[in-house]
Amino acid sequence: MGMRIGYARVSSRGQKLDVQIDRLADCERVFYEKASGATAKDRPELQKALDYVRDEDVFVVTKLDRLARSVVDLANIIKRLQRKNVDLVVLDQGIDTTTLYGRLQFNILAAIGEFERELIKERSTEDRVRAVARGVKFGAKPKLTKKEIEELIRDYEEPGCSKKEIAEHYGISRSSVYRLYAENRQQYV
């Protein structure tokens, strides 16, 4: 059997960690922080704790909302723990993946998180398709106007005009000069 690793978090400086830390007293190591980040990546101590846990360890938190900020965030953390063969115990919700019932709860939560992630992805794709149909253009705005591109083509074809000078003149890279020329030379011939 591995170690019990605890994690405690409060979201604002005014809140105290004492109650959570007291409840995690049976853990060999406790990571804690004051952070309100939306994802696990925004919480450095959680990252350290997730990196620290090893095969057969038990990761302990007092409440799910101390661990994850959304179902999707929880699903990502769950996957990470599962890959490392680490059990999860959530004291207030009675989730304990060292038991059969706890593993069932854990897997249901993971499935819900995956379902929610797929719904978000599907809605985002549909919204993007509708936006494109309305004429919305995604990506960075072109640095040069059509007139400037036309001038760039003429400069490019001018004998003795260096590509470096063209790039400096238009405030773009030399590779952009070559790309813009290749993409647009047929239009401005």
- Residues 6, 34: contact at Cβ < 8 Å? no
The enclosing H or E element of 31 equals strand 29-34
173 belongs to the catalytic site: no
CB atoms within 10 A of CB 188: 14
If you write DSSP's letter for every residue of 86-144 in order, what string do you get? -EEEETTTTEETTSHHHHHHHHHHHHHHHHHHHHHHHHHHHHHHHHHHTT---SPPPSS
Q: How far is CA 36 from the centre of its chain?
A: 15
User: End-to-end alpha-carbon separation of the chain, Å?
Assistant: 74
Which residues sit opposite 57 in a β-bridge? none
CA–CA separation, 81 vs 101, rounded Å?
17
Q: One of 11, 12, 124, 176 is an active-site residue; which one?
A: 11
- Return the active site residues: 11
